[in-house]
Each structure stands twice: as structure tokens, then as C-alpha cells.
Amino acid sequence: MADARVWVFFYGSYMNPDVLREVEIVPVEWEVGRLNGFDIEIRPRANLVRSEQHCVYGVLTTATHAQLTRLYAHAKDVLGETYLPFPVCAETLDGKSRPVLCYIAPVMEPRAVDQRYLERILRPAREFRLPAWYVERLERFRD
């Protein structure tokens, strides 16, 4: 069961293929999508908060449970943040709904944003051609 592939929604630095390669995860397929009913915060890491007024863009991809366990153990041990899986329905850009796992930190102590970390989010946001208004939203976390 640990090698079964599940759909996941990445919205922070994990939508960056280079970051995933650092932990030996190489997704086979990527698709841009959005998650309605949430907003993104980056303080100091990317995280989602419920919001009826916003949506968050990111990428949909597949990973095994073993890969996700390893990835989020890395987030806890190296980055100091605990993320837990939540089942949600993301929407593809062509309007299709897809059930996915989305990892959210239930608690994150607000701290200053590391600018190198932010670039690890901004670069793939541009490369995946997320909406310009959304990239501008991410850029506002610079200061």
C-alpha cells in the first residue's frame, strides 16, 4: 500500500521540481490547479488558511504514501514545521474536480520569510504560468 500513488496538491516550495529532487521525488506528471476556500500565507513557510474569499494555485501530481511520509518528515525535521494531510477537492484549470491530499500545518509560529525560500516558490509559480495576479500575491511576501 505504501507504493500506491495518490494525487496531491502542492502549493509552496514542493511545487518546485528541484526541491522535490532534493528528497528523491520525481513526479511523472504535473497539472496546474487551484484550491478554493483557502488562502496562502508564508510566515516563514507556505501554509494554507481557510478563506471563503480566496483560492490558492499550485500543482497536482502523484506520489506514493512512502514518498509523502518521507517528504513531510523532512519538513518537520529540517524545516521545523509539521504538516498534516487533509483530503480536499482541487480544481483543474479546465474545471474538473479532483480529490487530492493537501498538507497543511495546523500551527505555524509567524516569523520572517527567508527570501531564498520564497524564490523557490516564485520560480515554479512563473514557470507553471500561474495567474499573474497570483504571482503578484506571492511576491507581496517579500517584506
- pLDDT tens for 17-56 read 999 999 899 998 899 999 999 999 999 999 999 999 999 9
pLDDT tops 90 at residue 120? yes
Mean pLDDT of all residues in the chain? Answer: 95
110: closest CA among 76, 68, 141? 141
42/127 Cα distance (integer angstroms): 20
The tens digit of pLDDT for each residue in 90-118 reads 999 999 999 999 999 999 999 999 999 99
Tell me if 1 sits within 8 A of 65, measured CB to CB: yes
110 preceded by a cis bond (ω within 30 of 0): no
pLDDT tops 80 at residue 143? no
Q: Is residue 55 part of a domain?
A: yes
Q: Which helix (H) or strand (E) holds 124?
A: helix 115-127
The model carries a pTM of 0.94
Domain count for the chain: 1
Q: Is residue 16 part of a domain?
A: no
Residue 17 burial (C-beta neighbours within 10 Å; 0-12, 13-18, 19+): middle
Q: Is residue 46 part of a domain?
A: yes
Tell me the mean pLDDT in the region 45-69: 96
Q: Is residue 120 part of a domain?
A: yes
Q: Is residue 113 part of a domain?
A: yes
pLDDT tops 90 at residue 2? no
**In 3-state terms, what secondary structure has residue 140?**
helix
Domain extent, residue 50, equals 39-59+82-93+104-143
40 to 58, 108, 123: CA distances (angstroms)? 10, 13, 16
Three cell numbers at 77? 525535521
How many residues in total does the chain contain? Answer: 143
Q: Is residue 69 part of a domain?
A: no
Q: Is residue 4 part of a domain?
A: no
Listing DSSP states for 14-83 in one string gives: GG-HHHHHHTT---S-EEEEEEEEEEEEESSSEEEEEEEEEEEEEEEEEEEHHHHHHHHHHIIIII----
Q: Is residue 25 part of a domain?
A: no
